[in-house]
Amino acid sequence: MTGTDTDVGKTLVAAILVKAWSGDYWKPYQTGVAAARGDTETVAALLGPGGGHVLHAPACVLAAPLAPWAAARAEGVTLDVSGLRPPRTAVPLVVEGAGGLYVPVDAHCMMIDLAARLGLPVVLVARSTLGTINHTLLSLRALRARGLPVLGVVMNGPPSPGNREALERFGRVRIIAEIPPLARVDAAAVARVAAGIPALDTLMRDVRRSRRRRAGFPPA
C-alpha cells in the first residue's frame, strides 16, 4: 500500500483494509518515532482489541521524520533492502510503505522498487481534493510502467465526484472507497468503513481480467 504523497491517510486506510480483509499488518520501514508513535501502534489502536490480527514488527525503526534513506543516514545506519523478507502469514498481509512511490529506501532502492521486489499488488491512497488528479495519474502511470498490478485507489477526504470521475476515466482504475472526514477516528469508525470495502478476491479477479484484456486474451 502506497500513497500519492505523505500524510494522505495511508495508516488509516491500512487499518481499514486489515479489518476488511481479516488480515495482518506490516510496515517494513518506520521513521519519525522521535515526534510521534509508530504506525504499527496506531493501526493497533484503530483495530481495537480482538480480531486476531497480527501486527508484525518493522524491519527498521528510525527517529527522524524523513525518508528511510535520509533518516538512516542521520543515525549512521546503512539500509539494504536486498535481505528484506515479508513475514509469513496464512492471511492477507497489508504492507504499508513510507511516503510515496519515489521515496528512497536505501542508496539504490525507492519504494516502487520495494513494491516490485515484494511482488504484491498495490492499493494507492490519494487525497480527494484539488491536485489529486495529477498526483494520482502520475503514480498510476509509474506503477503500470513497472508492470505492478493495481487493485485500486482509495480517495481520502471530502467527496469530490468530479475528481473521482477523472481518476476512473483517465486512470482506468477502480475507486475502492471514498473515505470522508471522520468525526472520530477510532476502532468503531474503522469497522464501519471496512464493511463497505470490496472483498480482496473480487479485486484480484478484476485485476487479472484487466491484465488479460490488455494482453489481448479472452476473459478467463
Give the helix, strand, coil percentages of the chain, each rounded to 5. 40, 15, 45
CA 167 from centroid of its chain's CA atoms: 17
Q: Name the catalytic one among 10, 27, 53, 127.
A: 27
Catalogue the long-range contacts made by 143-150 (C-beta closer than 8 Å, 24 or more residues apart).
143/101, 143/112, 143/115, 146/112, 146/115, 146/116, 147/116, 148/112, 148/115, 148/116, 148/121, 148/122, 149/121, 149/122, 149/207, 149/211, 150/121, 150/122, 150/123, 150/124, 150/207
Which residues face 61 on adjacent strands? 30
10 is catalytic: no
Cβ pair 128, 113 in contact under 8 A: no
Which residues face 122 on adjacent strands? 150
Quickly list H helices, 119-182: 132-145, 161-171
Which residues face 2 on adjacent strands? 124
Catalytic residues: 27
